[in-house]
Amino acid sequence: MSPIWHPFTQHGLQEPIPLVERAEGAALYLADGRRIVDAISSWWVTTHGHANPHIAAAIAVQAAQLDQLIFAGWTHEPAETLARNLIALMPHPLAHVFFSDSGSTSVEVALKMALGFWHNRGEPRHRILVMEHSYHGDTIGAMSVGARGVFNRAYEKLLFDVGTIPFPKAGSEQATLDALDAACRAEPVAAFIVEPLVLGAGGMLMYSPDTLRAMHAICEQHGVLFVADEVMTGWGRTGTLLACEQAGITPDIICLAKGITGGSLPLAVTLATPAIFEAHWSTDPAKQFFHSSSYTANPIACAAANANLQIWRDEPVRKRITRLAERQAAMLGELAKLPRVANVRQCGTIIALDVVDTEGAGYLSEIGPRLRESFRSAPVLLRPLGNTVYVMPPYCIDETDLGSVRDAIVEAVTSLGS
């Protein structure tokens, strides 16, 4: 029996845990000889495919040159190059890059930046606003700004209080905007953090660019910092490089991770505007930004990220994304005809559907284990969020593999009965 304690895994259920020996493109190869299509990009990180040769080569070269360096008061070329290239891609005026190592820590950094901004300006703003059903990670600050429930119930006493804005359901968007405006008027608010266009772990809930733009405008009107958590939605997942592009907005702070290295190594960045950076700029050491980790801006991870950006510059990535979105739309049209399927939805390369559960929907839906069991017997990696099934594959996936994903979903849903 393995001594490993796996994340988001109830070992008491004794579900089998496959051993993966290698991966290539959109496929995983198991120790038992099976080939598995990675339909969720190994938790939403793999963009160009597994073991991308350009990224792998960059990692090998960097590993032989400079593997690690303290980043407090020191620097290295991979980080300098990456920071400049990221700023060139980001909307103006995002001009300062802070490195960390995961989506959760990039959110922690964003929250500390926002609170430090107001503290250093001598303005008493501490309130953070969040969106209902949101998820921003599993560290304490990230959990505090996420939805309260099964994910963090055991740790409730550790979490700080936040204001919650209702999710903008289709047809009820104005209620969300009114609630945000009222919350901003009620007291001084430091920041509003959102997952733009798609709430991932909350159930792949989707809302429009118009609503995102309107929320940003309300925050701008009240001087509230707007934080975009693009950890999942960034790097093309919603059809554009950033989800915020579709709303034509520039957040004050943006969090990026997952696909920043093409999914090869852990790395994250939090980008901020000059105003936020300058609030920490001082001859007073007490006003510096107090955050770091041992592996901040690891040179090997930065080299992988630079290779990823080179792929975006040199290869037709956006065309691949457009083509994948078209294929996903066609597949979703077929899946929508299945019994018990409801609320089919798409944003770029992400499609999702709900399997109707009369006993109750959500992450702990009784349908979830039955869906997982069906997917385990199929040649695909799919990990439903309770009764929500979603597909978010690498951009290199071909028609045959996408067909296998479709067939696996059809089999899983029809096996449940009507």
Per-residue pLDDT tens digits for 78-137:
999 999 999 999 999 999 999 999 999 999 999 999 999 999 999 989 999 999 999 999
pLDDT tier for residue 357 given thresholds of 50, 70 and 90: confident
Q: What number of other Cβ atoms are within 10 A of residue 182's Cβ?
A: 12
- Per domain, the residue ranges of the chain are 11-51+317-414, 55-314
| CATH value of 55-314 in 3.10.20.30, 3.40.640.10, 3.30.110.30, 1.25.40.80 | 3.40.640.10
Q: CATH assignment of 11-51+317-414?
A: 3.90.1150.10
3-state secondary structure the chain: CCCCCCCCCCHHHCCCCCCEEEEEECEEEECCCCEEEECCHHHHCCCCCECCHHHHHHHHHHHCCCCCCCCCCCCCHHHHHHHHHHHHHCCCCCCEEEEECCHHHHHHHHHHHHHHHHHHCCCCCCEEEEECCCCCCCCHHHHHCCCCCCCCHHHHHHCCCCEEECCCCCCCHHHHHHHHHHHHHHCCEEEEEECCCEECCCCCEECCHHHHHHHHHHHHHHCCEEEEECCCCCCCCCCCCCHHHHHCCCCCEEEECHHHHCCCCCCEEEEECHHHHHCCCCCCHHHCCCCCCCCCCCHHHHHHHHHHHHHHHHCCHHHHHHHHHHHHHHHHHHHCCCCCEEEEEEECCEEEEEECCCCCCCCCCCHHHHHHHHHHCCCEECCCECCEEEECCCCCCCHHHHHHHHHHHHHHHHCCCC
CA-CA distance, 24 to 38, in Å (whole number)? 10
pLDDT tier for residue 358 given thresholds of 50, 70 and 90: confident
Beta bridge partners of 356: none
Q: What is each CA distance from 196 to 72, 101, 141, 162, 190, in whole angstroms?
A: 32, 21, 19, 19, 19
Computed over every residue of the chain, the mean pLDDT equals: 96
What pLDDT does residue 418 have? Answer: 61
Is residue 364 over pLDDT 90?
no
| Residue count of the chain | 418
What pLDDT does residue 151 have? Answer: 85
274 preceded by cis ω (within 30°)? no
Is residue 359 over pLDDT 80?
no
- Specify the residue for token string 């990990």: 383
Please tell me the pTM assigned to this model. Answer: 0.96
What pLDDT does residue 304 have? Answer: 98
Backbone angles phi and psi of 192, in degrees to 5: -120, 120
CA-CA distance, 331 to 329, in Å (whole number)? 5
The per-residue pLDDT for range 300-336, each reduced to its tens digit, is: 999 999 999 999 999 999 999 999 999 999 999 999 9
Beta bridge partners of 51: none
What pLDDT does residue 150 have? Answer: 84
The percentage of the chain sitting over the pLDDT mark of 70, rounded to a whole number, equals: 100
The per-residue pLDDT for range 193-230, each reduced to its tens digit, is: 999 999 999 999 999 999 999 999 999 999 999 999 99
What pLDDT does residue 93 have? Answer: 96
pLDDT tier for residue 45 given thresholds of 50, 70 and 90: very high
